[in-house]
Structure 1
Amino acid sequence: MSHLEKHLSKMNIKTFVDTQLKVTQDIDKLLSILRGTAVSVVIFSKNFANSSWCLEEVATIAEITQKFGHKTLPVFFRVDWTTVAGDDDQYAKTIAGLSFAQQRKDEWRKALTVVASKTGRTTQEIRNEAKLVDEVVAGVLTTLVAMSPTRQFNNYLVGMNSRVAEVVQRLVMKEMDTVRIVGLCGMGGVGKTTVAQACYDNLRDSADEKANTKFHFVNRVGQNGVNDQDRVEGLVRELYSKLLSEDSLSREDLNIEHRRGRLLKTRVLVVLDDVHTPSQLDELLLQDASDPRKLFAPGSRIIVTTRNRKVLEHVKAEIHSVGPLDVNESLQLFKLHAFSLGSPVVDDDDLSHKVLSYCNGNPLALRVLGGALSYKDSKYWESFVLKLGKTQEAEIHHVLRTSYEELRDVKDRRLFLDIACFFSGHWRSLLVKYMETVDESAYSRVEDLIGKSFLASVFDQSEGEILVVHDLLKEMAWNIVNEEEDLGRRSRLNDPADIHNLLTNWKGHRATEGIRLNISKVKMMSLKANAFEGMNSLRWLNFFLPKGFGSRHRKTIVSEGILNSLPNELRGLRWDQFPSASLPGGFSPDELAYLVISHSPIVTCWEQNQWQPKLEKLSMLSLTSCENLTVIPDLRNSANLEHLVLEKCKSLVEVPDSIQYLVKLVRLEVRDCENIERVPDRLNSKLLKHLILANCPKVTDTPKHNTKLRPSGIAVRECSNRQV
């Protein structure tokens, strides 16, 4: 008993053992405690039936099991089921000899049968007592997981808790002396990431602190383009820097014997989400995917989610297929979204089941369809079902497209396409600010899209609340955009060939609203000085290098002379490797919400002899690895600025005093700016959460801020190579 209690406590599972009350003989108190527990472990031993105390406990456990579905795990310790519940066996004979009323003895016998009939553990099957304890702990943890919604998904985990419990059981049971890979495989939208996140959360929350396990969740591996070698290095750096608690470790750093030795002594729980190919897994596991025992300490667990079963077969993972929800689970999830405010507008199970038949148990489709039909009357439902049945398109894509078409307001559609095509994974607070420069009602529209499951709001420990669009919905969004055959009329572009054609060769009208170009995919693009002339519809311009590329990537976008125009209608501008010394003269984007420039020869954003816009709508300014930058924009009028990031700008000598008046500033981050000599004396923002000064050796004083207003989470780090 003491070993079991110790192991449960190690897993942070609160326990109560009846011996803690026996000194008082307060059976009523004990029974009250039993009714408040989540799981009861009943250990049947040879002398169990000699104790009326134990028999009263079993009677109460049986009662709450039958009435309220209380969870019970019987353990048969050197006895078998017939000993406990058989009519003519040991327990029956012992109870018959007790000095109690026959009615009470009959109740005890019935209770023993109820409890003993539950699935449990027995020493006949598990003879090693240490292993028996591990199995019981795993059973308790699995039961608790199945009963508990995870922190991110709450009631929307309908039908998933049993799946989570099954995977957790695979992870915590068996072979704690080895490294194991568990793979979750299934179609898009079926809930692989949801299950992986729930397992990760539960195991992290219940981890034994003494084991010193390291945890990391790598999101959307395949989506992030990990096939590109530089991008692989970025993910490797992110993962192993976290596991080894060191900054920016490259693959070469990880080849050092000392670090490999530390990894071999490190127990980890790692999730690699949405892996597309076996080679991606090989790269992320440093070519030791086939034998992870060479990489991590015994007891380590790696969870891999993928649509490609070959990924898991390649590493001989224990494969768990995440299948569709059954009919009852599907109906429950659908109704949760279709009738989110309580009583259904349409009380017709036939219509509901017709809708379900198109979803085939896919949770994403069920959530989206439920949101589309929420608050609608029966005629609308009937029309919707007819529309679903009129095409032979691939079912899941057709279901999602039909739901999109039910967004009647053009502004809702436009907002969804913007976020799906350009902004999935962004901070919610900033994203709403960006969208409000286009539509003042963006806040409520985002809420509506979340309610209809077109967007998901997820809390990330390091990043805060972010908005995420499912891969299938992003795929649908780009399919919708690309239906326009005329390149000049296509609202959003992300294909490098199309963008090259539009900016260098296109002679006709250009109605483009957004461009998202992965620069690493471009061999060479030579822009004329007037490349953007006349593009008055352009709102979002994003020329980006994926994380991990940086300054080592050769310049692929060059300007034939000084770029002389950018559309004043821009709401967002990110341009990694911006080719000029300043932004174009006459560029006056009054609605600009974010400006991000990196790895650029830029000296100043706006020349001193040219008029600078007030930047009143600016929420985010980030200037990174701009080695020639000598001055940042005038921010006196940027009252809405929330994030200011200056990094590796070695010619910059000061952060202007004007930022002390930015009352909405949430984050000020100044890193590796070796020649900055001064920063403002004070910051007056009451919203400040992150103040980071790192590796700025000439800064001697840090900004003061009113400690009464200082919120938790402010980090001031390493100014002049010291902790401030």
Structure 2
Amino acid sequence: MSASFSYDVFLSFRGSDTRYGFTGNLYKALCDKGIHAFIDDEELQRGDEIGEALIEAIKQSRMAIVVFSKNYASSSFCLDELVKIIDCVKEKGRLILPIFYDVCPSHVRGQSGSYAEALAMHQERFKSSNQSLIDNMGRLQKWKMALNQAANVSGKHYKLGNEYEHEFIGKIVKEVCNKINRRPLHVADYPVGMECRVQKVKSLLQFGSDTGVHIVGIHGIGGMGKTTLARAVYNSIADQFEGLCFLDGVRENAVKQGLVHLQEMLLSEIVGEKDIRIGSVSKGISIIKHRLHRKKVLLILDDVDKLEQVRATAGERNWFGSGSRVIITTRDKHLLQGVDGKYEVEDLNEEEALELLSWNAFKDHRVDPCYKDISNQAVAYASGLPLALEVIGSLLFGKGTREWESALDQFKKIPNRRIQEILKVSYNALEENQQRIFLDIACCLKGYELEEVEDILGVHYGVCMKYDIGVLVDKSLIKIKNGCVTLHELIEVMGKEIDRQESPKELGKHRRLWFHKDIIQVLAENTGTSEIEIICLDFPLYEEDEEVFVEWDGEAFKKMENLKTLIIRNSHFSKGPAYLPNSLRVLEWWTYPLQDLPTDFHPSKLAICKLPRSCFTSLELATISKKFMNLTVLNFDGTECLTKIPDISSLQNLEKLTFECCENLVAIHGSVGFLDKLKILSAFGCSKLTSFPPIKLISLERLDISSCSSLESFPEILGKMENITQLELKYTPLKEFPFSFRNLARLQDLVLVDCGNVQLPSSIVMLPELAEIFALGCKGWLLPKQDENDEEKLSSVSSNVKCLCLSGCNLSDEYFPMVLAWFGNVKELELSSNSFTFLPECIKQCRSLKLLNLDNCEHLREIRGTPPNLEYFSAGNCKSMSFCCSAMLLDQELHVAGNTMFCLPGSRIPEWLEQQSIGPSLSFWFREKFPVMDLCFVIGPMGKDSILFRPIMTINGNTMEIQSLTDKRFCFDFPALDYHILIIGTKYMKFGDNLDKPLSKNEWNHVVVSIALDFEPTPKEIIVKQTALHVIKPESSMDDIQFTDPCKQPSFKEKQRLVDTVDCHRQFMQHQTTLVSLEPHVRQGRNSLSLIPPQECKNNLNWDSFSTGTSSIASVQAAEKIGYFGFTATTTHGFIGFTATKGQRIAFIALFSIIGVDGLMAEEMHHNFPRIDRLQEQHLPSTIKQNFEGCNGINEAKVNEVIRCNNNYGNDNERNPLVEQLLLRKEDDIHSKRYQHVWKMASDPMELEYLVHIQKINLSQR
């Protein structure tokens, strides 16, 4: 037993049921095994409450065994004991093992059967008790929650007659031994940022299902904390398994002692036997499978670097029992093929990194203020790598700021050896070619597009380099992000240091030159040698974007006989090169300083030639095409002297040809259209180009002739071009397409932006793979031109286009029948900013349509039907839309699945969204799974062009990132000049964060729903007027959802206020049709109620100026409890409100002294209900009207008025003590304070009954 606990086990049981039987035998069995168990004697269970000695015993026990027997719940003593045990489980992490002794676990969990009878008996007993009803009701609620939570923990069920009791007890003792003998692994001295990462791994382990064996991989670069994370996960979940094994350092142990030793260690730890001897790997596999296949185990294989290590220890899932979990940590993601989930360990964020550095450098979680700047520099250098932060922090512990600065400067020049050695393990495991490729990327190609990197490295190493790049990705040495190759900063430093070590003193003997100062030195001093293979001179642009000037004699390349790649960007040279090596395979030189290349330059292997922004003319380009016949990439972008693309028919290996932004280019030679290997052709931005030659490019994949403002016709297609998938035609005023357009048989994306009076051919409908037409701002859009030969075919063909955008195309009402007939399979239809007035009924036939955008269609009045599977609909600023259309689009049937996102003008939330709240947020509580629901917000007006927004779910205080399930962002693509209704189903959303992280297991979870916008509202802008939600009942049980806190009982004062309301309701039901004068009721006291029938409400109050919503005031909450819906608006001395039943609408005005209610201030009420000013005050009785005065603050005169009113309400001029508090604060600018008041509901109808009774007694005593 650990010294920190007095007992190993605390036994909770019903003495009369099991003391002298099952529990007594269990106690003896535990003691026989040396387990120190606490069992109370009968004297301790006398009385109704547990004593301090018993509470202390619970706190000082490592785990509790709760024996649920038939009469357990009949003892209030046992139930109070259980509450304390659950408190220790939640607050102190104690273990609990429930035993269901001849009772059904569901009876305990749901309080049914004998447990329901016992709790009902306690409830009846409380009715006749002299003790506080409120306290007893709170106690009863805690019992219910504790029973539910305990029964939800995995336990053991014993049914009389099914097995021997001593065998059942033996199983319990064995499990207890396993649990209390386990010691947590050491995670880290300072485990920063560990909790959220542990939760992410646990979510991958799928603990919701005990069936099957789940395997999860944790991967990342060395020093990232994979082992640390695995240990933390182990400690978090170990108690759920029968057997445990953490195999540390698999890579190192396999090398030193072999795979058989790993198998022996595994078996020894799980079965608890020492000196296990196996003999061979194959025999070990057989023994592992035989001994563990029925055992629920947790196995962690740490630092695996070869597949054979996994095969020897966890080769098949059937080696382990159901519910087992295997975690593999590795630097090589490739080894995780076939696992159920992969987690790449994330860098520490800036805050976490600073904290870890602080712990190591200052032994405190906070940074010493004197070291703030230098600490930030250290964090930036470490780039989120925990190993680097620990090493740097430890080395600099106790050092001054100057020593910190010196050390960091040194680290930047020569990396720390310990960090370098750990990071270099992955590099050492690479093949030679892979090492060279890694160094090429780390030194020269970081940040380049993957396609460009593959082009360059393919010239050096052949096509096999694609496999090698994949290996580097798997080993976490490089990453591909947004199509670009990148790597961790310290991995980059490691690679550059490895290259530097090849020749630490002579720059000219490095294989790779990348540092601009080193390159300038080598070029200026002519110190290059044949060792140099790559030069990448990519000068950083300085503050004023000035390019660097290089002074040299042009002879530096003569000694570089093996130079293969020369890349020069953002620089100017004093003169051009007199010589270029014939060994070059890649030549990229921006703003090349001469009009031609050296005459003796004949590179037979030159494959990539990029000379953008050069001075070359058509003549020089023709010369190049004849000399460099092996070119695969030719780039002359931005070459102003180029007026014509000459004959390049000799370049039959050319795959990429670009001459973008050649502003003086007017013609292209016909040979360009017959290059069989050409894959990419771009003439973007050639504004003077008037014609394009016919093309028959059988390998072409991408064609871009955007921004060719003088080009009016698309080139003829002379034959089938089955590889082209993408066609960019932005800002090119093409008037028509040739009928040969049909030859683009595999075209997938057609992009047209501001193309004027464009007319597509009718054959476009028959392109089988065309999935997207994006035609934005083509204001002269015409109906497709029909080919006579296609007429018969078109009558029976519907396009396969899935996404059709015709926004801003000036479409009229006549266009839609044709569009919907031809594009009937469309899934996304963008029609914003058009001039049509209605959508035809035939849109119902678009059964695949899921997204329809009609934003800014200001003339749209009518929508004659909705597609049956519509999920996303937006009609922002469709100000002419009829009320009937809005009602149709807000109909509940469209949103019943909880998977829609609709936005349209309006300010009134539909009635089917039952839970409504004025303002930007709404709260609810749930347990078990997150409910399926529709959220609704009334938003606006906002004077912004485009508003990004996102729903926010704050669960138990943790703000969750919400993302759209589709590519469609949460966004208003229009200026919201009026109110709009936004409905979002939770099925349309996904949680970007791990949802398991904030959840309380088996407990209620508090959720606050709100919405975030991308700008701060100005005081004049009203952003979120109302919030509402509707729970999708078939998919979410209302038993697991509450809209008042189910775990917290109201205070006595709050409950009395609730009783006031219930009592008033009873008066109301008795005098439903009575009109009572207002003034006498004010004089009678603050518990009175003035009743006004509906017709009087119409005459006196403009109720429609308010928006219906669920009030936070207790009286209206009580009305909701008994079947009403309502709202209130607070005034200086009370509140105004109404309730409505299904059969009739009834309004009431209840006046309370504002001080007597809760000391709420008028200005605060004005803040919470900003639409008070919309009341037609001239129609109000004078007493009420006066109460609205001063809503902008409370001054001394107002305080005195409140005091006078308060004294009039009380008996014998009693002064409310809250008045005194207000007087004491009146000098403190109290009008600016905000008070948040949470009004709670009684949780039981019986409680309401008794509270009414108590209140009547209190009133009679007064």
TM-score by length of 1: 0.43
The structure with higher relative contact order (CA 8 Å, sep 6+) is 1
Structure whose residues are more often strand by fraction:
2
TM-score by length of 2: 0.27
